[in-house]
Amino acid sequence: MLSAHKKFAYPHGNVLYRKLRYQFPCIVRGEGVYLFDNEERRYLDASGGAMVVNAGHGNAEVAHALGEQAAKLAYVSGIQFTHEPVEELARELCALAPAGLNKAFFLSGGTEATEAAMKLARQYWVAKNQTTKYKVISRMPSYHGNTLGAMGVSGRQHYRTVFEPLYIDHPKIPPPVCYRCAWEKIFPQCDYECAQELELAIQKAAPETVAAFIAEPVLGSTGGATVPPEEYYPRIMEICRKYDILFIADEILCGMGRTGDWFAISSYGVTPDVLLVGKGLTGGYAALSAMLTREEIVTTIRESGSEFLHAQTFANHPLACAAGLATIRFLQQHELLARCQAMGALLHQELRARLANHPLVGDIRGRGLLAGIEFVQNRSTRQPFPRSWHIVELITATALAHGLVVWSNVGHVDGKDGDLILLAPPFIVTAEQIQEIVNTLARVVDIVVDEIQHKRGWTHV
Ligand SMILES: Cc1ncc(COP(=O)(O)O)c(C=O)c1O
C-alpha cells in the first residue's frame, strides 16, 4: 500500500502537472466505474473524475458515435458554418431544459461558459440601454471557473489571493448552506436570510450597476453537495426580477442528470435566464460546455444591432457536440436518470448508516449520485481541522492507496480551513459497487482517525 503521506520527487518528463510535488498514477484504460493503471492496479472511480463521467468509462456506444463523426466531419469553425451535431444537440438540450431556454451556445469548458454568460448579461443590459450594469453577484464560497473573469465571481479564496491585482472582484453573499448558516439559524426556523442577503447586496452595490447573479443550484465542490431548501431559488428569482438582474444557474457540475433530474434547478420550479452545463454533458468523451438562454435575451442583442461578442476557435465543435448527443442518448436509452435516483438513494442511505456518527464526519449531504461529506474536528461546534493537518489530503491519498478515487475540496469554511470530499460515481454504478465505495471509505476514515490520534494526539469530541 502506498503511504498516504508519500510525496514524490518532481516527475520527470515534459508535462507540467498542476501538483508540483506528486507523481500521478498513469491510467491506461477505463471500464465502467473502474480505471486501470500501467501496473494493472484497479481504481473505483467514485468521483467520475472531476464529477464528469456519467455514462461510464470505455463506453462503446459513445466511442462508436465519436468515431463515426470524426470520419464524417471533425471540425468546422462555428462562426463560418453550422452542422447537424450542433443543431441536434441544441434542440435536445433546449427540450430537456426548463421551458423558455431555447438558445444554446457551445464552448469547450465550464470556465468558458461562465465567461460567456457574464458577457451575455453585460451585452443584454447594454442593448437595453442600461449601460451601467456590469457587476455579477455570486456567493462565497463558490466556484465558477479559473480564468481571470471567472475568478472574479468565484469564491475560492486560496485560488484567488495571488492573482488579486489581475481581476475585477465582484460582490459576494453567503451561500445557503444550513450546516454552516451565516446567521446561525436552524432551518426551518429562519426567514431565508441567505436569499434576502441578495437584495441587501444589490442595494449596497447599487442596482443600476448589477447585471446578474450567478449560483450553483446544488452546490458543488466548494459547497460539498449542499441542496438549498425549496424556497431559496423562488425567492432569489423574485429579487432578480424586482431589480432587473439576470439569474445565471451554473449547472456545470450538478446538471446533466447528476442529481437525478436533467437539471437541478427544475425541482425549484424556476427558469433561470441563463443555464450553464459542462462536465457530464459529454461524460468526459470530449471537452464541451454549453450556455443556454432565453430567446428574448438574444433578440434584444440582435435588435440593438450587435452580434454576440464571444467566439472561440472550438465553439460549436462538431465532434464534441456528437459526443454530447451520444452521451444524452445513452443516458436516455438505458434509463440512467432513474438509475441515478435509485443508486443515489442507496448511496446516501449507506453513507448515513456507516458514517453519520463517525467521529470525523460533521455532515453528509447531496442528491442523486452527488454526495458530499464534511470532516470536522469537533462535531458539536463544527470546528474544522487546521489546514496544516491536511485531513482531506490524507483521506484522498489513503482512499487512492485502497483503490478508491474521491474528489477533495479545502477552505470552504473561512477561505483557509475546511475539509470536504465529493462522491459522484458514473450512473451505471451497481448496488455492489456502492457497497464497495462505502465500505472502503469507512475503512479509510478509520485509518485516518488512527493516524491523527497517534501522530497528533487528536481525540474526538
Ligand atoms: C460549478 C462549476 N462551474 C464552473 C467550473 C469550471 O469548469 P471547467 O473546469 O470545465 O473550466 C466548474 C469546475 O469544476 C464547476 O464545478
Report the pLDDT value the prediction gives residue 11, as an integer from 0 to 100: 64
Report the pLDDT value the prediction gives residue 313, as an integer from 0 to 100: 97
Neighbours of 193 (CB within 10 A): 15
End-to-end Cα separation, the chain, in angstroms = 30
pLDDT of residue 4 exceeding 50, the answer is no
Pick from 214, 248, 279 the residue to mutate for probing ligand 1's pocket: most ligand atoms within 8 Å of its CB: 279
Share of the chain above pLDDT 90, in %: 93
The more confident residue out of 461 and 147 is: 147
Report the pLDDT value the prediction gives residue 175, as an integer from 0 to 100: 98
- Label residue 2 by pLDDT band (50, 70, 90): very low
- Label residue 158 by pLDDT band (50, 70, 90): confident
Q: Which residue's CA is the closest to the ligand 1 atom numbered 9?
A: 110
Pairing relation of β-strands 210-215 and 246-250?
parallel
In the chain, the amino acid numbered 177 is V
Cross-strand partners of 373: 364, 421
207: CA distance to ligand 1 center in Å? 27
Report the pLDDT value the prediction gives residue 34, as an integer from 0 to 100: 98
Distance of CA 313 to the CA centre of its chain: 24
Report the pLDDT value the prediction gives residue 6, as an integer from 0 to 100: 46
220: CA distance to ligand 1 center in Å? 9
In the chain, the amino acid numbered 321 is C
pLDDT of residue 3 exceeding 50, the answer is no
- Architecture, CATH, for domain 27-58+336-456: Alpha-Beta Complex (3.90)
Pick from 252, 256, 291 the residue to mutate for probing ligand 1's pocket: most ligand atoms within 8 Å of its CB: 252
pLDDT of residue 153 exceeding 60, the answer is yes
392: CA distance to ligand 1 center in Å? 20
Please report the atom of ligand 1 found closest to the CA of residue 112.
Answer: 11
Please report the atom of ligand 1 found closest to the CA of residue 289.
Answer: 10
Range 5-29 average pLDDT: 78
pLDDT of residue 431 exceeding 60, the answer is yes
Q: Which residue's CA is the closest to the ligand 1 atom numbered 7?
A: 110
Half-sphere exposure of residue 140, counting CA atoms within 13 Å on the CB side?
Answer: 21
Rounded (10°) CA dihedral 177, 172, 183, 361:
30
Report the pLDDT value the prediction gives residue 267, as an integer from 0 to 100: 97
For residue 399, which of 456, 430, 443, 450 has the smallest C-alpha distance?
Answer: 443
DSSP string, 55-107: S-BT-HHHHHHHHHHHHH-----TTT---HHHHHHHHHHHHHSSTTEEEEEEE
pLDDT of residue 159 exceeding 90, the answer is no
Every domain of the chain and the residues it spans: 27-58+336-456, 73-333
DSSP string, 398-429: HHHHTTEE-EEEE-TTTSS--EEEEE---TT-
Pick from 112, 139, 142, 144 the residue to mutate for probing ligand 1's pocket: most ligand atoms within 8 Å of its CB: 144
Report the pLDDT value the prediction gives residue 410, as an integer from 0 to 100: 96
pLDDT of residue 358 exceeding 50, the answer is yes
114: CA distance to ligand 1 center in Å? 8
Q: Is the CATH number of domain 73-333 3.40.640.10?
A: yes
Angle at 299 between CA 293 and CA 300, to 5 degrees: 100
Range 316-343 average pLDDT: 98
The more confident residue out of 459 and 174 is: 174
409: CA distance to ligand 1 center in Å? 13
Q: Which residue's CA is the closest to the ligand 1 atom numbered 16?
A: 253
CA distance 252 to 250: 6
CA distance 357 to 306: 58
Q: Which residues line ligand 1 (CB under 6 A)?
A: 50, 109-111, 114, 143-145, 216, 220-221, 250, 252-253, 278
Please report the atom of ligand 1 found closest to the CA of residue 145.
Answer: 6
User: Phi then psi for 444, rounded to 5 degrees?
Assistant: -60, -45
289: CA distance to ligand 1 center in Å? 10
> Cell 481571470 appears where?
148
Report the pLDDT value the prediction gives residue 20, as an integer from 0 to 100: 87
Q: Which residue's CA is the closest to the ligand 1 atom numbered 4?
A: 144
Please report the atom of ligand 1 found closest to the CA of residue 216.
Answer: 1
- Label residue 154 by pLDDT band (50, 70, 90): very high
Mean residue pLDDT of the chain comes to: 96
Q: What is the pLDDT of residues 22-59, one digit of tens each?
A: 888 999 999 999 999 999 999 999 999 999 999 999 99
Q: What is the pLDDT of residues 210-255, one digit of tens each?
A: 999 999 999 999 999 999 999 999 999 999 999 999 999 999 999 9
287: CA distance to ligand 1 center in Å? 12
Q: Which residue's CA is the closest to the ligand 1 atom numbered 2?
A: 144
pLDDT of residue 21 exceeding 90, the answer is no
110: CA distance to ligand 1 center in Å? 5
Range 303-330 average pLDDT: 97
Kindly report which listed range (7-21, 235-249, 386-400) carries the lowest average pLDDT score. Answer: 7-21
Report the pLDDT value the prediction gives residue 71, as an integer from 0 to 100: 98
143: CA distance to ligand 1 center in Å? 7
Kindly report which listed range (8-12, 179-183, 394-398) carries the lowest average pLDDT score. Answer: 8-12
pLDDT of residue 420 exceeding 80, the answer is yes
Please report the atom of ligand 1 found closest to the CA of residue 250.
Answer: 1
- Label residue 1 by pLDDT band (50, 70, 90): very low
- The whole model's pTM is what? 0.97
Distance of CA 10 to the CA centre of its chain: 29
* CB contact at 8 A, 87 and 99: no
460: CA distance to ligand 1 center in Å? 34
344: CA distance to ligand 1 center in Å? 22
Range 274-288 average pLDDT: 98
Please report the atom of ligand 1 found closest to the CA of residue 109.
Answer: 10
Share of the chain above pLDDT 70, in %: 98
Q: Which residue's CA is the closest to the ligand 1 atom numbered 3?
A: 144
For residue 296, which of 101, 8, 132 has the smallest C-alpha distance?
Answer: 101
Q: Is the peptide bond before 234 cis (omega within 30 degrees of 0)?
A: no
